[in-house]
Amino acid sequence: MARSRPGITAYYNTLNWHHLYLTRADDGRTVLELLSSDNGRRTAYPELSVDADGVTRVGLRAVIDGPAVRFEYDLGAGWRRLPVELDATILSDEHAALIIDGEPAAWGFTGAFLGLWVQGLGGCDVHADFDLATYRER
Number of domains in the chain: 1
The reply to whether 59 falls in a domain is yes
Q: How far is CA 39 from the centre of its chain?
A: 15
67: domain CATH number is 2.60.120.200
Mean pLDDT of 109-134: 78
Residue type, 4: S
pLDDT at res. 1: 43
The reply to whether 131 falls in a domain is no
- pLDDT bucket at 3, cuts 50 / 70 / 90: low
The reply to whether 51 falls in a domain is yes
pLDDT at res. 121: 64
Virtual CA dihedral for 30, 72, 116, 44, nearest 10 degrees?
Answer: -60
CA dist., res. 13 & res. 6, Å (int):
18
Give this prediction's pTM.
0.86
The reply to whether 61 falls in a domain is yes
Radius of gyration of the CA atoms of the chain, in A: 16
pLDDT at res. 117: 84
Residue type, 1: M
